[in-house]
Amino acid sequence: PFQVVGGKVKKPGKRGRKPAKIDLKAKLERSRQSARECRARKKLRYQYLEELVSSRERAICALREELEMYKQWCMAMDQGKIPSEIKALLTGEEQGKAQQNSTKLAKAVKTEANSSNP
């Protein structure tokens, strides 16, 4: 019953613990439960991916609309017309610059007042 391999004595059979007698019904139930969980994970993964795709498609549509708007503006400017949106942007920038300058001036005045008071 013993084999000698490379100077070592080997016993027949498997090494380690012998598996306990596992109830076949319990094993099948665990397998079914594992399969259910796997299907549920797969379903969630596909739902997530579908939502991701649809949100990206919406973003693409929005960007295409924005691009088309810019193309229209460029064509209008090529014809010598200034679109009202661009006029609004320009006047908004001018107002914004005036507001920034007034805030800078106010900050400078506050700093001078604080530095002169010991």
The string of DSSP codes covering the chain is: --EEETTEEE-SS--SPPPP---HHHHHHHHHHHHHHHHHHHHHHHHHHHHHHHHHHHHHHHHHHHHHHHHHHHHHHHTT---HHHHHHHHHHHHHHHHHHHHHHHHHHHHHHHHH--
Residue-wise pLDDT tens digits, 73-115 = 999 999 988 888 888 888 887 666 666 666 666 666 565 555 5
pLDDT 10s digits, 22-60? 788 899 999 999 999 999 999 999 999 999 999 999 999
